[in-house]
Amino acid sequence: MAKKEKDVAVHGDKTRFQWTWHLMKQYKIGYLMIAPFMILFILMTVIPVVFGMFVSFTDYNLLQPPQWVGLDNYVNLFLNDDLFVTALKNTMIFAVTVGPGSYILSFVVAWFINELTPKVRAFVTLIFYAPSLCTGAYVVFGYIFSGDSYGLLNGWLLNWGIIDTPILFTSDANWIMPVCIFVALWMSLGTAFLSFIAGFQGLDRSQLEAGAVDGITNRWQELWYITLPSMKPQLLFGAIMSITGSFGFGAIVTTLCGGIPTDYVGYTLSHHLSEYGGTRWEFGYASAISMVLFFLMVGTNMLVQKLLSKVGKS
* pLDDT one-digit tens code per residue, 257-266: 777 777 788 8
Q: Of residues 267 and 132, which shows the higher confidence score?
A: 267
Q: Indicate if the alpha-carbon torsion angle 238, 244, 247, 253 is positive or negative.
A: negative
- Residue 293 has a CB neighbour count (10 Å cut-off) of 20
pTM of this structure: 0.76
Q: What is the pLDDT of residue 313?
A: 67
Q: What is the pLDDT of residue 137?
A: 67
With beta carbons less than 8 A apart as the criterion, state whether 129 and 246 touch: no
| 72 has a pLDDT exceeding 60 | yes
Q: What is the pLDDT of residue 99?
A: 82
Domains of the chain: 1-55 (no CATH), 63-308 (1.10.3720.10)
Residues 6+ apart with CB under 8 A from 89: none
The values of phi and psi at residue 38, to 5°, are: -65, -40
Report the mean per-residue pLDDT for the chain. Answer: 81
Mean pLDDT value across residues 289-295? 90
Q: What is the pLDDT of residue 9?
A: 47
Would you state the torsion angle of the CA atoms of residues 144, 148, 154, 155, taken in this order, to the nearest 10 degrees?
A: -100
pLDDT digits (tens, 9 = 90+) for 265-279: 888 888 888 888 888
Q: Which of 34-38, 78-82, 123-127 has the lowest mean pLDDT?
A: 123-127
Please tell me the distance from the alpha carbon of residue 166 to that of residue 148, in angstroms, as a whole number. Answer: 5
Q: Which of 5-9, 21-25, 161-165, 216-220 has the lowest mean pLDDT?
A: 5-9
157 half-sphere exposure, CB direction, 13 A CA radius: 19
With beta carbons less than 8 A apart as the criterion, state whether 231 and 251 touch: no
| 2 has a pLDDT exceeding 50 | no
